Amino acid sequence: MATNRDLQTELGRYQYVQELFSVGARVPVVSELTDISPWLLRKFYLDSTGEHPSRGPIPSSLDWYLVGTNQLQSSLFLQYYMSVNDRDHDLRIANLLLAYRLWSSSWQHTGLKKTLTFDRAWWLIKLLDSEQLKAQCCRVCRSLFVVGTRRMGTYRCSACVKTRLQYGPRVKQRDYLPPREKSSSSVSGMAYISSNDSSSVS
């Protein structure tokens, strides 16, 4: 016989299901996050909305995250996700939902088209966990960006590359900040100064 505690847990899981559907998550994604069968989820969706959930493939691309505004959206989402990812409360659904909502309201202010769906945000975190993508700080503005694992050395974001192109190397040198995690006297720090921008964005 189910105890009161079991029922509370089950209720909590279905509350997450509702929240996940409300941000546009697809059935396979919700199923993986909540451990509820796709069949039950489809039935739940149909009962609560009167419509069938949308079908089709879930994200599988890796390169999608590295291009244009997709990269900007992904990087901004990642910054939110990392800021809400409390180690003491490692509940992935709650963190994903909170980060996605924060990102969504923030991105809305840009007036740019939103292409990062919740499913893509979920897939991004999986790609980072499995080290198929990585997060790297821009060496100039120090913001965190999603980059490919083949990228070696330091990274400059496209905005900082454009700033240099517009104002020339002098301004760039004045704006240059050494990476936070390394002192300027380290081997890598020396390499940045003498590399003559060989590691700019490709």
> With respect to Zn ion, which residue has the nearer C-beta, 30 or 160?
160
Nearest alpha carbon to residue 147 among 60, 78, 195, 59: 78
Work out which of 76, 78, 124, 140 binds Zn ion, going by CB under 5 A.
140
Min dist CB 141 to Zn ion, Å, is: 3
Min dist CB 192 to Zn ion, Å, is: 14
Q: What are the C-alpha distances in Å from 48 to residues 36, 44, 117, 139, 142?
A: 16, 6, 22, 48, 45
Binding flag, residue 157, Zn ion (CB under 5 A): yes
Using the CB atoms, write b or e for 105-137: b if 16+ within 10 Å: eebeeeeeeeebbbbbbbbbbebbeeeebeebb
Work out which of 70, 160, 164, 172 binds Zn ion, going by CB under 5 A.
160
Min dist CB 82 to Zn ion, Å, is: 17
> With respect to Zn ion, which residue has the nearer C-beta, 34 or 79?
79
> With respect to Zn ion, which residue has the nearer C-beta, 127 or 140?
140
111 token code pair: 């007036």
> With respect to Zn ion, which residue has the nearer C-beta, 17 or 140?
140
**In whole angstroms, what separates CA 177 from the centre of its chain?**
25
Cα(35)–Cα(52) distance, integer angstroms? 20
Number of residues interacting with Zn ion: please give it, by CB under 5 A: 5
Work out which of 138, 155, 164, 192 binds Zn ion, going by CB under 5 A.
138
142: left (phi over 0), alpha (psi -120 to 50) or beta: left
Q: Where does this chain touch Zn ion (CB under 5 A) — which range of 13-21, 29-37, 49-57, 130-138?
A: 130-138
Helix (H) / strand (E) containing 134:
strand 133-137
Here's the x/- map for Zn ion, 82-121, by CB under 5 A: it reads as ----------------------------------------
> With respect to Zn ion, which residue has the nearer C-beta, 104 or 136?
136
> With respect to Zn ion, which residue has the nearer C-beta, 31 or 75?
75
Binding flag, residue 72, Zn ion (CB under 5 A): no
- Residues of the chain by 3-state class (helix, strand, coil), percent to 5: 55, 5, 35
